[in-house]
Amino acid sequence: MTRPLADRIKRLRKSRGLNQHEFAEMLGVSQPTVSRWERDQQEPEFDQIVALAELAGESPQQFAYGERVNEELTLQPVFVMGAVQAGHWVEAVEWEREGWYTISLPPHPQFPNVKRFGLEVRGPSMNRVFPEGSVVECVRFEDIHAGPQPDDYVVVERHRTDGCIEATVKKFVIHDGEPWLLPESDHPAFQRSIQLNNGHEDDVESVVIAGLVIGSYRHFIRRS
């Protein structure tokens, strides 16, 4: 039986004789991030998987999935098609086709055959999870024939009566039996939660949970 990713990260850190703070500094992340990895509360982003795999002397696929995989398994291009203001409503605008770009990601273990798309994260309103400049990797719920589950990060669309569609990324939770959308930010301007079943503003036709965030990616800026 393969060991979970959280366990492999912890074993790798201990094999280096490092505490969480030292390990975090080596990888360019925070100690709380390493703690969440090891408690299976957050998965590393793709570039962090690459760095962990290099430390372990394994391929990214082998480290991510915990077993030897076909070395011919290739990374797959995922189109980044637009931007989203995480935790805050902004008009959803898909970029012109020539503005799209691709990032290369391994197949997702839960959704290996589902079309994925990327959205750039703007602003600090989900910065505890998705720092500004991250790309969130998403699938549409209609493509996976499922709905949101508690603690999912989701892409939410707000359809206005004038035809405008706004979008945001939030955390989906159930509180006292009711669905809520939560921001996860350390910025004081972005602390408001939204109760989904509490009605809509007069000019809002519907609020739709359209996509599931299944991963994220961001560039690391090398310190000079």
pLDDT, position 13: 92
Residue 1: band (very low, low, confident or very high) from pLDDT cuts 50, 70, 90: very low
Instruction: Report the distance separating Cα 103 and Cα 213, nearest Å.
Output: 15
Residue 223: band (very low, low, confident or very high) from pLDDT cuts 50, 70, 90: low
Q: Dihedral of CA 169/173/176/179: which sign?
A: positive
3-state SS of 7-41?
HHHHHHHHHCCCCHHHHHHHHCCCHHHHHHHHCCC
Strand (E) or helix (H) holding 61: helix 60-65
Instruction: Report the distance separating Cα 99 and Cα 21, nearest Å.
Output: 39
Read off φ and ψ for residue 144, nearest 5 degrees. -105, 0
The share of the chain scoring above pLDDT 90, in percent, equals: 23
As a whole number, the mean pLDDT across the chain is 81
Between residues 154 and 1, the one the model is more confident about: 154
Residues 137-196: pLDDT tens digits?
Answer: 999 999 999 999 999 999 988 887 777 777 788 899 998 888 998 887 777 777 777 777
Between residues 63 and 173, the one the model is more confident about: 173
Between residues 205 and 78, the one the model is more confident about: 78
Residues 75-111: pLDDT tens digits?
Answer: 788 899 888 875 555 555 567 778 888 888 888 888 8
Closest CA to 118 of 86, 80, 153: 80
pLDDT, position 21: 93
The share of the chain scoring above pLDDT 70, in percent, equals: 83
User: Does the pLDDT value for residue 135 go beyond 60?
Assistant: yes
Q: Which tokens go with 203?
A: 């000019």
Mean pLDDT of 45-69: 77
